[in-house]
Each structure stands twice: as structure tokens, then as C-alpha cells.
Structure 1
């Protein structure tokens, strides 16, 4: 029986092929490692950009003082426009969501919602437990154009010293648009980004702190970034 010879590639060719295979494997593993490292960095960059686009409220004096010597409130959300310099008109927050979340950066002694001098809702801190963290809207949803006073008393302030922000519900078209966005099932972060990048920073802030049905690590991280930024005093680093 005649043995059929096996053709083998020259040794030098085999060595080149082995080197190429090793180089390809190294390239693939290195690329995967770099991609894994780049993704969190890219997300962090996006969150920081969104934090800056959403911006922050100025600190609001309590007790009607604008001298800067008295206690102040740092309201994270909703975003508001400062009142006039004479303090005859309060700061005003126009809210698109019918049930906006309320959040101050520091501990509070008291939170009120009022209309025409009548308290519609009130929360009081105890001597050992201040009011902290987000407050889910405690009343019936706001009707288009409805107006209330949000009154906040920080820890340590006298009993009559409040920061006052007028909450004004947006018109029906804006309310409907905000409700549609919130119920659309789209990524919350994508909705926040779309509104922040088109100049709707107040709506982006409302969407950011609106309750989530399912936890989102990216949204939680952005919330932390915005809270850490506070009212521009404790500006979070890049």
C-alpha cells in the first residue's frame, strides 16, 4: 500500500500564522477590556453634562430676608424663578407634572402647602427627626393653571420663618405633554436628556425626581449628582 505524503506548510509560514493568531486574540481581549472601561466613563460624562444642563435653583432666604445673613433654603426640585428684589412677589415655579416631587437639599422643620392663607397640607418634623428626602405630592393632582404656596422652614429657623415659593401648574397642553412623557414607557434617562438638551431644564428636573416604577441605576446616579450640586454652593466635581 502506497502511503500518501501529507503536505505541511513551511515552518516559517506556521510561525507567522501563530503570531497572527496570538495578535488577533490580544487585540480582541484588549478591545473588550477597553470597551468595558469606556462605557462607565462615557455614562459618567453624560450624567455630568445633564447635571449641568438641568442646573440648580438659587438659595432662597427665609423670613423675607434677602440680606444673606439669615437662614436659607436650597430647593432642588421643582425649579423656580426668583422673585423681585423688593420681596413683594415670591419666587415662582411653573410645574408641568400635575403631581410634582418636592425636594430640599437640607433638613427641614416644616413643609406647608397653602392657598389664600389656608393650610391645605402640612408636615412637621419631630425634635429628633427632621424632614429629609423627596416628598411625594401629597394632594390631589394640580389642575391646569392652579396656584399654591409652598412654604419651607429649615431646621433651626424660628417658627414663623419660611421660604415661600409659588407653585403654578402649567397649562393643559404642557400638562398633557408631561403626563404623556411620564407614561410613555421610554427610558427615563433618555426623556431627561431630550428635554435638558432642548432647554426644558425645569421639566427635565421634574422627570428626574418623579417616582420610578422600576429602579434605574443611571437615574439614581444623576439624582445624586444633582443633589450634590445643590444650589451651586457645594458644586460636584467633574
Structure 2
């Protein structure tokens, strides 16, 4: 009976999730920026409609642009978010293994910390801070101090969560002015989502490299030792 191959460790599984997550995050950046552009175009048309009639083709193109980008962007965001949660669970386990300690949070606690409103303003940043702390091989009894990149990500994350709630509540309002303001809020949210996704890609890359630093390649050189010129002349 053939031997069962060993199960990949937390670090290998974290790197596997990383390989899919980062390209997906950069795709989210691109689509979110397109969605922001679509909202800006819609707002320009709304302003123009106050003074003149709009072309039916321009309105139809704008609606199609907003609809397409507004559909793809949330889907990419949800998929990237799910992969980010998966990566954070595996990276947390890998960081604990690297530090020789037990993970400070269970898988359930990490997942719920990302998803539960209110709690998700603090838990994700704390989880990533603990991963960074262990990856840097700092003492386990020392309180984690997030890096500037992580603090920037944390601020963007909180801003994105809060603004998403504001946009959802704003969509419950009705009226022309409420619709115009909603377009502006959607554009701002799309830009913020793009920036957050870009910083997330950088942060995930940094933490993964800290957990699994790339070893420098060694080059083997064959050297020939030749006798000095004087010794060669004497032998001649």
C-alpha cells in the first residue's frame, strides 16, 4: 500500500492561499476604480440633466457601465474577502507554529471576528498584528505593536466598513438629491475599496514573506589555483 503523502503544514497552506489572494486583490483594485469612474460619469450626467436633455445613448451606456462594474466589483470583493479570512486563519496558525506557541485565537473566533459587525472593526487588525509580531520573532509576552503599514491598513479597513454601512443606510432614502448624494457616496466607497485592496495586497505579501523568508541562492564557483609567476619562471 503506498504511503500517504504528508499533509501540508499551516505555512504551506497560507502560501497557497496567498498565491490566489494577491492577484484577486489587484483585480479588485482595477474593477473598483472602474466602478468609481462609472459613478462619476453618472453624476456628471445628473448635473447635465438639470440644464438640458440627455442623449438616450449616453444614459443607456452609463447605466450599462454602472450595472456591470457595480455587479462585478461586489462579487470580487466577497471572494477576495473570503480568501483573506482563509489566509488569516492559516497565517495565524503558521505564525504560532513559528513562535512555538499555541494560536491565541481559534479558527471560529477569527472568522467571526471578521464577519460580526462592530467586532470586525478591531479583531481583524488584532489578528494581523499578532501574525506580524510572531513572524518578526518577538517575545510572546510582549504586546504586539503594529507597523505603520498595518496601522494604515487598519484605518482603511475601519473606514471601509463604516462607509459601507452609511451607503446602505443612505440607499433607504428617496428623492432626487438623495440619489445624487448616493452616487457620490458610491464613488467614494469604490475609491476607498480600491485603496484598501491595494494596501491589503501589500500587507499580505509582507506578512507572508516574514513567515517564509526567501533564502538567498548560493552559487558554486570552481576556482583554479595557479602558482605565482616567479615560481613558474623558476620551474622553467
TM-score (normalised: structure 2): 0.29
Considering fraction of residues, name the structure with more helix: 2
RCO higher in 1 or 2 (8 Å CA, sep ≥ 6)?
2
Looking at CA atoms only, which structure, 1 or 2, has the larger radius of gyration? Answer: 1
Considering fraction of residues, name the structure with more strand: 1
